[in-house]
Structure 1
Amino acid sequence: MSRADAHPSRRAFIGATGAVAATTGLTAGCEAPAVRQDRPPSPASTPRVAATGRHQAGVTLPQPAQPNLLAVVADVTDGVAVGPLLAELGRAVHALTAGADPRLLGLPPGDLTVTIGVGPRLVRRAGPSLPGAADLPRFSRERIAPRSRGGDLLLQICAGDPLLLPVVATALLRQAGDRVRERWRQSGRRGPDVPVTKGVSAPRNLLGFIDGIVGPHTDAEQRRHLWLAGPAPVAGGTIAVVRRMELDLPRFAALSVADQEAVFGRRRASGAPLSGGTVASDPQLGAKTPDGRYLVPADAHVRRAHPGVVGAGLMLRRSYSTDEPSPGLLFISFQNDLRTFTKTLAHMDGSDALLGFTTTTATATFLVLPGFDHQRPLGAGLFR
């Protein structure tokens, strides 16, 4: 029996579902009970998220993630001193999230977070062997214009109030001035969070499946799979992958429910693997029908992205659905090793049924800088 067909442990299954959503942002899930949709709290009454600390906000905090996101990717002008630029941006983020910046135009910050990353070109300038110095390779099913590939600076802005996103982006870009030049931006939103298991919830995506059921949720898992332990200038940071994808929604919606489930390898209504059980059950990849067919098809997303087969770790995702320029997904994953992403997507690239419904139109990777405070500015120790 091959490794792919072996009966995986629960730990392997957790990794599988994490990698499943991580590389495409689309995780098969369960049809959970409807969540009561009361009127959302006003931004003025929403608890604020501290901008300072060991890690930047907007990765694991807040939980659950805010419903609105704007990602801005920019280049840094040649000859610019990166250290002072990042320190200025960090101070601006602190003022904006504290509600102390007049550029908020009177809007309460609520749960606003800004997460800043630097691209491989800048990381290589600081040290060619540092985490985050490697560019993403090219994959199939990409239709990417030159200015939508790569970039020097990521501004990930998240908030409960969608009005904050362009206001904060304008403030930060004005702070940077002619030292940066915007490449592209993309806004997105999350559906209501659905309870998955105790302490874990996830939103539903445009294909009707829950997105991001499993990831490194515990402190131990985050130390192992999410946060960089070193070297010292990057400790407490992480590696982000950002990919904008178009979804062939009409073609997927035209499939029968059974065919949609075959794409994912899971039941749409219950979230159970096609091999049986509940949403929490291990997918039995070796299970077959009486006539010898695999219950989980050979090209099903769950099988192709199984980390026990790929040899990849867990990723934390903040994926958001989009409707402009076309229905799709802004996929953002965080991991402490870029190979976690690249190995999984390379394994999926050949025969994952789900990828046939996606086209990637923008892609980049960034070193998400460690957290900062008044004594240690953003980017300190890495750039001067």
Structure 2
Amino acid sequence: MHRADQPPSRRAFLDVTGATVAAGLLSGCSGDSARPARPAPSAPASSAPAAPAPVPVTGRHQAGVTLPRSPQPHLLALVADLGAGVAPGPLLAELGETVRTLTAGSDPRLLGLPPGDLTVTVGVGPRLVRAVGAALPGAADLPPFSRERIAPRARGGDLLIQICAGEAPLVPVVAAALLDRAGDRIRERWRQFGRRGTEVPVAEGRSAPRNVLGFIDGIVGPHTPAEQERDLWLAGPPGVAGGTLAVLRRMELDLTRFAALSVAEQEAVFGRRRASGAPLSGGGVADAPGLGAKTADGRYLIPADAHVRRANPTVVGVGHMLRRSYSIDDPVPGLLFISFQNDLRTFTATLTRMDTSDALLPFTTTTAGATFLILPGYGPRRPLGSPLFG
């Protein structure tokens, strides 16, 4: 990743290092024993893994939030500013068309790589939203919080391009194509690659990854359509309906100090079992934490400063956020946290409460942060961004 105070040129992604793929060959013996002297034919080569299903680009919502159901393992978050005098509407419409050609596999800038389950999700920052209406969702900046060490260029931004894919080499290639289409109309602020950890089943048809601290991440959230309509998607006004609000936070983690804790101490920080993800109050990984459960001598089974207690939406008095966490190791080991919600207060009130006493926060330092309005879905007759900037 480039340093925040030295933004790369928009051509930086064109110098892409190829990935080496190792393939194995299976051979076997014929089951025909009638003619043993005959050379045994090779067994058929094992079939290649099925290609990931394409993710629909058009619709009420942009892809890359709830679709695909299990997020792809590789992500690039790219944050940029629009140049002076650049109109958002035409730029967004062109980016949307480019996304359609990239996901369809018809763009020569893919360099022959199959798009697979590629998704590109585009959001706009508060400055652009305020230019349309100061009261619109997405018009408010993300306030500062404690334990931040954020350079000016790593705070805020006009444009978010989130690229997710099942194949790592595809991500920088797609970024280069989109930056090429945008040309000199945008200037990059910062970017971050991330990867999801091993997926662990948490409920029927749903899984969550382990984060870089070894714990299952993203168990609680608006997972059903009804929950998503309530807590995730914006219902209005018309220019933003079908969109959502994203918060990005890049965090350094003190892995050495956390690893020095015993497993029991680590579990007390999170309020969950490290191996299973089950709350310390008992039950399974998908069960709600029993915040009132106590030991025989009156101690809370989930400590008062445990992360699952301090960030619990019922206790905070906010809706659920859909959380995505990606492990990073550049510039240092850490986490790229992304949350989606239809009210920025869902995030800000939660982090404000965590700031007062959350056992996890002392192991973190935030080095980049921003919020964006994820634009509503689009289609052939409804260009990306047109309901708001048309």
Amino acid at match of 2:129: V
Task: Work out which of the two has the higher radius of gyration on C-alpha atoms and give 1 or 2.
Answer: 2
1:316 deviates by 1.0
Distance 1:40 1:149, change over 3 A: farther
Counterpart selection for 1:331 from 316, 337, 341 = 337
Q: Which residue pairs with 1:317 in the alignment?
A: 323
TM-score (norm: length of structure 2):
0.86
Q: Which residue pairs with 2:39 in the alignment?
A: none
In structure 2, stretches of 5+ residues that fail to align are 1-45
The structure richer in helix per residue is 1
Counterpart selection for 1:290 from 296, 300, 303 = 296
Q: When the two structures are aligned, how many residues end up with a matched partner?
A: 345
1:303 deviates by 1.3
Looking at structure 2, the residues matched to 316 and 283 of structure 1 have their Cα atoms a distance apart, in angstroms, of 18
Identity of aligned residues (%): 76
Looking at structure 2, the residues matched to 81 and 192 of structure 1 have their Cα atoms a distance apart, in angstroms, of 41
Counterpart selection for 1:67 from 69, 73, 87 = 73
Q: Does 1:116 align with 2:151?
A: no
Counterpart selection for 2:310 from 285, 304, 309 = 304
Looking at structure 1, the residues matched to 238 and 253 of structure 2 have their Cα atoms a distance apart, in angstroms, of 40
SS in 1 for 2:335: strand
Counterpart selection for 1:343 from 346, 349, 353 = 349
Q: Which residue pairs with 1:252 in the alignment?
A: 258
Q: Which residue pairs with 2:200 in the alignment?
A: 194
Amino acid at match of 1:292: G
Residue correspondence of structure 1 range 195-214 to structure 2 within 5 A: 195-214=201-220
Residue correspondence of structure 1 range 20-169 to structure 2 within 5 A: 45-169=51-175
Q: Which residue pairs with 1:273 in the alignment?
A: 279
Post-superposition Cα deviations, 1:311-360, rounded to whole Å, max 9, x if no partner, equal: 01111122211111111111111111111000001011111001111111
Post-superposition Cα deviations, 1:281-321, rounded to whole Å, max 9, x if no partner, equal: 44332333333322211111111112221101111122211
1:68 deviates by 0.3
Distance 1:40 1:196, change over 3 A: farther
Q: Which residue pairs with 2:17 in the alignment?
A: none
1:41 deviates by 6.5
Greater relative contact order (Cα < 8 A, sep 6+): 1
- Larger CA deviation: 206-215 vs 140-149: 206-215
Looking at structure 1, the residues matched to 219 and 53 of structure 2 have their Cα atoms a distance apart, in angstroms, of 25
Looking at structure 2, the residues matched to 298 and 90 of structure 1 have their Cα atoms a distance apart, in angstroms, of 46
Contact kept, 8 Å, 1:245 with 1:329, in 2: the verdict is yes
Distance 1:267 1:45, change over 3 A: closer
1:40 deviates by 11
Amino acid at match of 1:62: P
1:252 deviates by 0.6
Amino acid at match of 1:169: A
SS in 2 for 1:318: strand
Counterpart selection for 2:242 from 236, 240, 250 = 236
Looking at structure 2, the residues matched to 161 and 41 of structure 1 have their Cα atoms a distance apart, in angstroms, of 15
Post-superposition Cα deviations, 1:96-143, rounded to whole Å, max 9, x if no partner, equal: 010011111111111110000000000001111110000001100101
Q: Which residue pairs with 2:230 in the alignment?
A: 224
Contact kept, 8 Å, 1:200 with 1:213, in 2: the verdict is no
Contact kept, 8 Å, 2:215 with 2:275, in 1: the verdict is no
RMSD across aligned positions (CA): 1.5
TM-score (norm: length of structure 1):
0.87
Looking at structure 1, the residues matched to 310 and 368 of structure 2 have their Cα atoms a distance apart, in angstroms, of 23
Looking at structure 2, the residues matched to 232 and 211 of structure 1 have their Cα atoms a distance apart, in angstroms, of 33
Contact kept, 8 Å, 2:219 with 2:286, in 1: the verdict is no
Looking at structure 2, the residues matched to 156 and 185 of structure 1 have their Cα atoms a distance apart, in angstroms, of 10
Distance 1:230 1:356, change over 3 A: same
